Structure 1
Amino acid sequence: MDWHGMAVAVLPGRGREDGPVDPVELPPAPPGPRGRTVTSHDESSGPCLIPSLLIKMINKSQDALLRLVSITHYSLPESIQRALSGSLKCRRCAVVGNGHRLRNSSMGETINTYDVVIRLNNAPVHGYEQDVGSKTTMRLFYLESAHFDPRTENNPDTLLVLVPFKPMDFQWMEAILNDKKRVRKGFWKQPPLIWDANPEQVRILNPYYMLWLSAPVPQKPTTGLLAITLALHFCDLVHIAGFGYPDSGNKKQTIYYYEQVTLKSMAASEHNVSHEAVAIKRMLELGLVKNLTYF
């Protein structure tokens, strides 16, 4: 399966020599895990609003997206090409969540053994290696969570994969990589004004991944669920660690392994965490993924 054409790099995909990509024409939906076709929703459930929202997002930011395409590089780092090459008999991927259950788990050495390790948002590695490992093949993040040092919390060849939710996300990334005047409005939380990343390691997640996971109402999937879905398309084995939220009755239990934030902070989010928990449990029951921690 061709990682280049179907995964991260998807919209910035072809490199300077091939010319720009028309962002209005979204690429065709690839097959789902193990070759199954993935659809965004049951046709009987009524019209899905997310596809139109995604198209509007891209239409509103065509110029910025085209400029972003022109400065991001298509070729994957050599180490990642080896990890994802067809020569491997069994590509093993670990998707590392940010959950509290990773704390004192001593899972670090185990996580480092996987061919591909996917991390989420601003979850730190430095200082937590014993529990979360030190290897990072790619890091999926939404813009407001970009408050991490790309060179400190990642490996030198880590792919930084932007999960876009709105037109301003493309404009911010293009401004940062071209060192232009920073975009300051249009965010629910101010993203960083300085972000020391190598443009050749930046990719944009194909909006189709959000389309597949969206219900008939416009709710945004979490970065974690997007990462699991991405891994299922390119890995023979997908193992997850650090997923799951505390019981809703436990008001004092922290959500993350690295900061003191409780479940109360999720109340205002646009994520349906209960629905996603059911989805992940179903994946576990079907054997699509395996859990390295408890869920």
Structure 2
Amino acid sequence: MVLKRRLGLCFLAVLSLLVIYILCLSVEITIPLRMVNLNLSHFPGLRYTQEPNRSHDSEDSIEGNTPSDGLDSLHTGSTPTTHLRLKVQSTSPVGVRPSMKPGARARTTKGQNIKGALLSNSTKPTEPPFIGDSYYSEVAPPQTDCPNSIRSRVPQTDFGVRYLGRIPVLQWAKHATPEQYQRLKLYPGAHGWGNLDIDTLVSTLSVLNTWANWHMFDDWDLRSNGSQCVCCAVVGNGGILKDSKKGREIDQHDYVFRTNGAVIKGFEQDVGSRTSLYTFSTNTLRNSMKSYAGVGYRGPPLSEETRYVFLPDHDRDYLLMKAAATHTPVERGPEKSKTPPTYFGKNVSVEKFKMYHPDFIRYIRNRFLRGHAMQTKYKNIYRPSTGAVMLLAAMHTCDQVSAYGFMTPDYKNYSDHYYDSRYHPVGFFINHDLKMEMTLWQQLHQAGLITLYMHQ
């Protein structure tokens, strides 16, 4: 009897262990299946990739209500639906909190408004992680209904996977929020607000609060003459323009972009005489005034149509812009003054000033001009050249773009600048990758997105 009882207890114990084992197997099988249905935005250390279609670079979507501040929730060009694979990022960029990781996506919960929407590359993440391939997104209807605009053609080219049309090209008062400051202070130089305190940011951008400050072509309604397309000439300072006789052709465009030491007097036959939008940083402006004074460069072009577009590389750009727009002295820094700056004329109005958005500069660096220096100790000083920012800004705002005076494969045949009195070879420095830019101009020309002037 005792033996039977012991055998019964052993049978029950074995049966219990078998049941426990089956339950463990069941849990192990169901957990991964359920994970696929989770909202991955609640797991900042996870990202997902779409196995079947690696070549498509979609804009990620976020769940939530439509933003109340004019932002557009992100849309997806190709929603990942099959074979989702979870990847755990084991490390975070130095100094970045998990909740504010450069690659993190904005998220909302039901009933909340989105304070800032981010465009991110989720199917093809950009590495290394310090790059910050996530951007502010906003709805900005085009100023024209051009039937053959760049934005309508780019999806049919190889650049369709890189191009994001909702990143603001310009920053203005609306963008100076604590939330955006916390996000962008992670990035130094022209790519963020890392060199800028929030008080300087707010006081400067609050000045840029008019329609003209956030539209590249603020006077288009007055000058369009019924045209459906904005046609732009983007003029670099390359030696290829010498004796080109392209001046009249350049001036016939709706808008003419120029940058840095744009010497015009005496060279009108080759480079034209008009300047609609002048791109510069405070540093490049001051350097140009020192370096090219001997050939007639005295400062930014001064005309009724000229607008001044700052490429903000440091707090000195914000300080100079605010002082010039408000006709007050520069508060501090290398340009500190006792009187208001006069670079842009004594009576310049605030409507004449614009400033590139750091997200736009970081975006074109990440997706169009990702130079080798980004893998080196010089990564924080590397950025697209001022001319490159200007040309790519035109490509994102104009309907048609013609580029003149930019580097071409035969660059050794020409001096560095069209106004050089004797031959000077092109200089190469670690903070720009001019050869990569040259290759990009060729590719954009071959894709039909720009028309690049080249000697026949």
Q: Matched residues in 1 for 2:201 and 2:233: separation?
A: 30
Q: Deviations over 1:240-276 (max 9, x none)?
A: 11111686867xx531112458336x34451111111
Closer, same or farther in 2 for the Cα pair 1:259/1:62, shift >3 Å?
farther
Q: Is the 8 A contact 1:12 1:21 kept in 2?
A: yes
Contact 1:96 1:132 in 2 (8 A): yes
Given candidates 328, 331, 356, the residue that maps to 1:179 is 328
In 2: Cα distance, 1:183 partner to 1:126 partner: 33
Match of 1:52 in 2: 187
- Residue 236 of structure 1 is matched in structure 2 by 399
Query: 1:1-295 counterparts in 2 under 5 A?
Result: 1-2=141-142, 10-13=170-173, 21-22=176-177, 25=180, 52-53=187-188, 54-57=191-194, 60-72=196-208, 74-76=210-212, 79-83=219-223, 88-146=227-285, 147=289, 148-150=298-300, 153-177=301-325, 178-181=327-330, 183-185=332-334, 194-197=342-345, 198=348, 199-214=350-365, 215=370, 216=374, 217-218=379-380, 219-244=382-407, 254-259=415-420, 262-263=424-425, 266-268=427-429, 270-294=431-455
Larger radius of gyration: 2
* Aligned residue identity for 1:65: L
C-alpha deviation, 1:206, in angstroms: 1.2
TM-score (norm 2): 0.49
CA RMSD of aligned residues (A): 3.5
Superposed CA deviations along residues 72-108 of structure 1, whole A, max 9, x for unmatched, are 45233864444579x5323211111111111111111
> Residues 294 and 23 from structure 1, CA distance in 2 versus in 1: closer, same or farther, beyond 3 angstroms?
farther
Distance 1:270 1:23, change over 3 A: farther
Letter in 1 for 2:210: Y
CA distance in 1, matches of 2:441, 2:203: 36
CA distance, structure 2, for counterparts of residue 74 and residue 6 of structure 1: 19
Choose between structure 1 and 2 for higher RCO, CA contacts under 8 A separated by at least 6 residues: 1
The 1:50/1:262 distance shift into structure 2, 3 A limit, reads farther
Structure 2 unaligned segments of length 5 or more: list them.
Answer: 1-140, 144-165, 290-297
Determine helix, strand or coil for the equivalent of 2:394: helix
Superposition deviation, residue 110 in structure 1: 0.5
Give distance in 1, aligned partners of 2:240 and 2:412: 17
| 1:117 shift after superposition | 1.2
TM-score (ref. length: structure 1): 0.72
Change (3 A) 1:259 1:73: farther
> Contact (CA 8 Å) 1:11, 1:23: kept in 2 or not?
no
The offset of 1:165, in angstroms, is 1.3
Whether the 8 Å CA contact 1:225–1:276 is kept in 2: the answer is: yes
Q: Which runs of 5+ in 1 are unaligned?
A: 15-19, 29-48, 187-191
Structure 1, residues 169-202: CA drift from partner, whole Å, max 9, x if none? 212332444432464449xxxxx96424413211
Q: What letter matches 2:361 in structure 1? A: M
Summarize the Cα distance change of 1:102–1:248 in structure 2 as closer, same or farther, 3 Å threshold.
Answer: closer
- Matched position secondary structure for 1:68: helix
Aligned residues: 255
Shift of 1:207: 1.3
CA spacing shift, 1:169–1:287, aligned 2, 3 Å: same
Helix, strand or coil at the partner of 2:194: helix
